[in-house]
Amino acid sequence: MVGIIRRDTPSPPAYVAREPKESPMPRPIINEDECSGCGICVDACPEGVLELVDDVAQPVNEDDCTACGTCMEECPMGAITEIEED
């Protein structure tokens, strides 16, 4: 006699459809009056967000900013005062 082995299969997990979440757009805010143009933040940023433009640091690739805060920590002038997220 051939037996039939039945195994209960686990129910598939219930998935909840979610709307895709807009990612925040963090970016450094640079006080141009305080910036000495030393370039430390440009070198320190791991994402290549910052560049010197006319000897003032500017966020040129804002979309790549992860709001890690490194530029703010490294700036000797305290010119990067805020990481703003939209």
Of the candidate spans 1-9, 12-20, 71-79, the one that interacts with ligand SF4 by CB under 6 A turns out to be: 71-79
Using CB under 6 A, which of 24, 66, 82, 85 touches ligand SF4?
66
The CB-based long-range contact list for 67-75 (8 Å cut-off, 24+ gap) reads: 67/24, 67/26, 67/27, 70/44, 70/45, 70/46, 71/28, 71/41, 71/44, 71/45, 72/28, 74/40, 74/41, 74/44, 75/40, 75/41
Q: How many residues bind ligand SF4 (CB under 6 A)?
A: 27
58 binds ligand SF4 (CB under 6 A): no
Of the candidate spans 1-9, 13-21, 42-50, the one that interacts with ligand SF4 by CB under 6 A turns out to be: 42-50
- Residues lying near ligand SF4 in the complex (CB under 6 A) are found at 28, 30, 35-41, 44-45, 47, 49-50, 57, 65-71, 75, 77, 79-80, 83
